[in-house]
Amino acid sequence: MTTVQQPEIDSLTLAQSRERQAKKVTWVGFFVNMILSVAKIVAGILGRSSAMVADGIHSFSDFVTDVVVIAFIGVSSKAKDEDHSYGHGKYETFATLLVSGALLVVAAILFIQGVQKVLTSLHGEVLEQPTYLALAAAIVSIICKEWLFRYTRNVGVKIKSDVVVANAWHHRSDAFSSIGTLLGISGAMFLGEKWRILDPIACLIVSVFVCIAGVKIMIPAIRELLDHALPPEVEKEITETVMGVEGVENMHNLKSRKNGNSYIIEVHIMVNKDITITAGHNIATEVERELRGRFPGTTVMTSIHVEPDDDPEDDN
């Protein structure tokens, strides 16, 4: 068994750069969410809007998940040690799962609050009319959260961080929440007393979007924690890369999985049985180098088992 890995210095430099960018964008979100959550809850209370109070709670959940991301992104960037032979990438996946879980909890809270208000209205109780303060808070929130989503997503895609991208979608879900809140507040303010039920209905609609976002983020994280194989198209690329290396006559027993932002690849390559051990080792090293080149920006760990390619005709 010949095991070859990307030089430690390259991996360390990449991990440090990635960690810096991830923490920077998350700290930006941290302070924006902290200010927005307080402002929206106050605006909801003073502006008599249950939808805005719920929206503020949603922003507070963003604030909490930013803390989770900041805590876990540093751990996931650590190099391998005696207890973690493949590094700490799974910590990032676990953080992604926590973010998605927070989204589902927020969705449940928004849904329950919306149902309670709708039932209250249907039983004849007149709901309070929201004010322009709540309306203005919704508009400001939409602008801030959409900007924060685009900024965070771009960084997450650039550094190939699932947890940062997941956090970006948490920001987008808050923007959706504020859009629903804006529509509900507007209807409750301008369409008359009987339409004030639109304010809590907005909570119900928003909760559905938040729940969908949470599920979409959770499923890939669960698959990764269960060591699900890489997508077929990625494994096809791996096969093409390995078979394209001069000296590789065949391959089999391909195993692959994702570890945070890294790929872990194990493959048995078959070479001519008459070449030297040194030549076989050089071919294995070239396979590993080609795989790193095929997947730039990520650490590809390959465990390559070299076997002689026995041809039955040679025994005749």
Tokens of 51: 């939808």
Q: What is each CA distance from 36 to 42, 54, 58, 106, 244, in whole angstroms? A: 10, 12, 10, 16, 53
143 has pLDDT over 90:
yes
Q: In this predicted model, which residue has the larger pLDDT, 44 or 193?
A: 44
In terms of pTM, does the model score above 0.85? no
Determine contact, residues 211/104, Cβ cutoff 8 Å: yes
From residue 144, how far is each of 54, 177, 266, 316 by CA, in Å? 17, 13, 45, 76
- Does residue 239 sit in helix, strand or coil? helix
Q: Do domains 2-225 and 232-315 have the same CATH topology?
A: no
Residues 162, 165, 171, CA angle at the centre, nearest 5°? 145
Residue 144: per-residue pLDDT:
92
Contact 204, 51 (CB under 8 A): no
Helices and strands, counts by H and E, the chain: 8, 4
Q: Map tokens 């550094």 to a residue.
A: 159
Enclosing H/E stretch for 286: helix 277-294
The CA distance from 2 to 58, in Å, is: 51
Token couple for 233:
């198209």
Averaged over 161-181, what is the pLDDT? 80
What is the overall mean pLDDT for the chain?
77
Q: Give dist(CA 49, CA 40) in Å, integer.
A: 10
Q: How far apart are CA 236 and CA 4, in angstroms?
A: 21
CATH superfamily entry for domain 2-225:
Cation efflux protein transmembrane domain (1.20.1510.10)
Q: Buried b vs exposed e over 73-98: b needs ≥16 C-beta within 10 Å? A: bebbbeeeeeeeeebbbbbbbbbbbb
232-315 in CATH: which number?
A: 3.30.70.1350
CA–CA separation, 281 and 65 (whole Å): 46
Residue pLDDT, tens place only, 256-287: 777 666 677 888 888 887 888 888 888 888 88
Could you please report the per-residue DSSP string of 181-238? HHHHHHHHHHS-GGGTTHHHHHHHHHHHHHHHHHHHHHHHHHHHHTTPPPPHHHHHHH
Domain-wise residue ranges, the chain: 2-225, 232-315
Distance separating alpha carbons of residues 270 and 67, to the nearest angstrom: 48
Instruction: Determine if residue 55 is left, alpha or beta; phi over 0 gives left, psi from -120 to 50 gives alpha, anything else beta.
Output: alpha
Give the model's pLDDT for residue 308: 66
pLDDT band at 4 (very low <50, low <70, confident <90, very high): very low
> Residue 259: beta bridge partners?
262
The one-letter code for the residue type at 2 is T
266, two tokens: 């194990």
* Local structure of 316: helix, strand or coil: coil
Q: Encode pLDDT of 92-137 as tens digits.
A: 777 778 878 887 887 888 788 788 878 887 877 766 778 889 889 9
- Separation between Cα atoms, residue 17 and residue 244, nearest integer Å: 32
